[in-house]
């Protein structure tokens, strides 16, 4: 299985600390060595980096760990291939346009015999079940809501139903964002933490690295980090329930 990492904030924030520990799982402290990727929203644009090399050996991953790109919504993925070859086009996250804005998607799991009819504008480039699921979601969204982006509550209700449908084919842990909200669905395993004032020290579990967030933040900052397995040893992470869909906006889980 793959692993997911997401960040949602109320002010643009860098993900260097979390990504440093996460990338180590891409071939050193864990077996997810079949590629990796990360996408950052900046305004209406997206910085998108993928590599079919293991994250621990990728020069692009080193760039991300040393270049503090600031964003309010980030999705990252390290891959252990279950479907599709180890090629660049099969690396998550995937990016598509819908309603005049970019959407970013990543998936952890294995969908058996998932072969929906894709007869709209959304077609896979690679041959993973994950990219098929993303194209299917976007196709369903456009058909259901038409030409206008729906309100957050309507979109959340729709995605909750659509994710449950796709999950009947297997494991569907996923992250989806349009730059305004981060939608997360758990089939088997996801955890999250919200860091806010008063900020404290955090210590990575996969690297000998600690950060005192009180020295890097203001009292107004709020950051939600969502990941397959907790990244730190000294913080209290909340585990999702199987079948649960959570939406994060401005660094906190929304009650929608």
DSSP 232: B
**Crossing angle of helices 152-167 and 129-145, rounded to 10°:** 140
- Residue 93 half-sphere exposure, CB side, CA atoms within 13 Å? 28
3-class secondary-structure state, position 166? helix
Selecting among 2, 91, 135, 186, the annotated active-site residue is: 2
Q: Is 2 a catalytic residue?
A: yes
Q: What angle do CA 36, 38, 42 make, to 5 degrees?
A: 170
Q: Which long-range contacts (CB under 8 A, 24 or more apart) does 115-122 make?
A: 122/96
CA distance 127 to 32: 19
CA distance 247 to 175: 10
Q: Just list the catalytic residues.
A: 2
């Amino acid at each position: 299985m793959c692993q997911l990492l997401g960040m949602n904030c109320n002010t643009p924030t860098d993900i260097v600390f979390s990504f440093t520990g996460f990338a180590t799982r891409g071939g050193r402290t864990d077996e997810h060595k079949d590629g990796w990727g990360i996408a950052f929203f900046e305004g209406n644009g997206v910085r998108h980096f993928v590599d079919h090399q293991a994250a621990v050996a990728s020069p692009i991953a080193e760039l991300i760990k040393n270049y503090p790109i600031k964003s309010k919504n980030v999705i990252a993925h390290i891959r252990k291939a279950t479907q599709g070859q180890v090629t660049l086009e099969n690396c998550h996250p995937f990016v598509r346009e819908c309603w005049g804005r970019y959407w970013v998607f990543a998936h952890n799991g294995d969908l058996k015999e998932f072969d929906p009819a894709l007869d709209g504008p959304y077609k896979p480039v690679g041959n993973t079940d994950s990219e098929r699921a993303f194209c299917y979601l976007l196709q369903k969204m456009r058909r259901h809501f038409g030409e206008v982006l729906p309100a957050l509550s309507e979109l959340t209700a729709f995605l909750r139903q659509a994710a449950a449908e796709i999950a009947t084919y297997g494991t569907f842990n996923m992250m989806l964002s349009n730059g305004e909200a981060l939608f997360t669905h758990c089939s088997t395993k996801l955890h999250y933490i919200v860091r806010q004032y008063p900020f404290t020290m955090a210590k990575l579990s996969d690297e000998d690295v600690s950060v005192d967030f009180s020295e890097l933040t203001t009292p107004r900052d709020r950051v939600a980090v969502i990941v397959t397995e907790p990244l730190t040893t000294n913080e209290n992470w909340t585990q999702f329930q199987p079948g649960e869909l959570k939406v994060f906006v401005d660094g906190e889980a929304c009650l929608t």
